[in-house]
Amino acid sequence: MSSRLQNLFDNNRAWAQSLEQRSPGFFSRLLEQQAPEYLWIGCADSRVPANEIVGLQPGELFVHRNVANVVVHSDLNCLSVMQFAVDLLRVKHIMVVGHYGCSGVKAAMNDVRVGLADNWLRHVQDARNKHREWLEGFADEARRHNALCELNVLEQVLNVCQTTVVRDAWQRGQQVVVHGWVYGLHNGLLQDLRITVNDCDAVQPRYAEALAQLRARHERLRELEPARSQE
């Protein structure tokens, strides 16, 4: 029986019954329409359940996930999801969501070979190399890892904003706002990285402002670290 993963079918049945009891007719209504306002582009990490994190039900969040929440201009999978979400579902918000403790980001940071995914993680290494001088100023590897997780989100937000899907939407006057967030595995909380973009002209200014704030925040943390270690 275990080879058939019966426990998963049992869990599914209990979940469906519970949801139907809390909201009678839920699945009948869901069948009629898919109208999410949000597209979540996140990491495939099993510890980051998109719907649950933001407390949304099925049908309320359109989701695309891959290793290290990367947006590549030649990735037709991601671009197709974005185009479907923006053009057909008319989502109003796109959230690029990274997470602290991301194994893919750590592998990219330390040049650890993991296999075929090395080619995918090269995009994260590009982000690392772009900010290498600043990142090398971190003596603590954990803090450097956190910083790169955040930087990777900013870079992927920039990539989202530069896709033809989003730029075409903005040019025709469609309301689409792109956000960059990071999720804490240690506390279950989302953090806004202060990059929110809603038109072509705002892309570079918002990116520059968010990057400056990110660096300033980490510099403050580094200044506090010696004082904490002496306590």
Among 64, 75, 99, 145, the active-site one is: 99
Q: Would residue 78 show up in a list of annotated catalytic residues for this protein?
A: no
Q: Burial, 113: exposed, middle or buried (Cβ in 10 Å; 0-12, 13-18, 19+)?
A: exposed
Q: Would residue 10 show up in a list of annotated catalytic residues for this protein?
A: no
Q: Would residue 149 show up in a list of annotated catalytic residues for this protein?
A: no
Among 102, 128, 144, 145, the active-site one is: 102
Does 161 belong to an annotated binding site? no
Among 45, 75, 78, 206, the active-site one is: 45
Q: Would residue 122 show up in a list of annotated catalytic residues for this protein?
A: no
Does 64 belong to an annotated binding site? no
Does 93 belong to an annotated binding site? no
Q: How far does Cα 160 stand from its chain's mean position?
A: 11
Among 13, 47, 73, 122, the active-site one is: 47
Q: Would residue 45 show up in a list of annotated catalytic residues for this protein?
A: yes
Does 200 belong to an annotated binding site? no
3-state secondary structure string, the chain? CHHHCHHHHHHHHHHHHHHHHHCCCHHHHHHHCCCCCEEEEEECCCCCCHHHHCCCCCCCEEEEEECCCCCCCCCHHHHHHHHHHHHHCCCCEEEEEEECCCHHHHHHHCCCCCCCHHHHHHHHHHHHHHCHHHHCCCCCHHHHHHHHHHHHHHHHHHHHHCCHHHHHHHHCCCCCEEEEEEECCCCCCEEEEEEEECCHHHHHHHHHHHHHHHHHHHHHHHHHHHHHHHC
Which residues does the annotation place in the binding site for Zn(2+)?
43, 45, 99, 102
The catalytic residues are 43, 45, 47, 99, 102
Which residues does the annotation place in the binding site?
43, 45, 99, 102
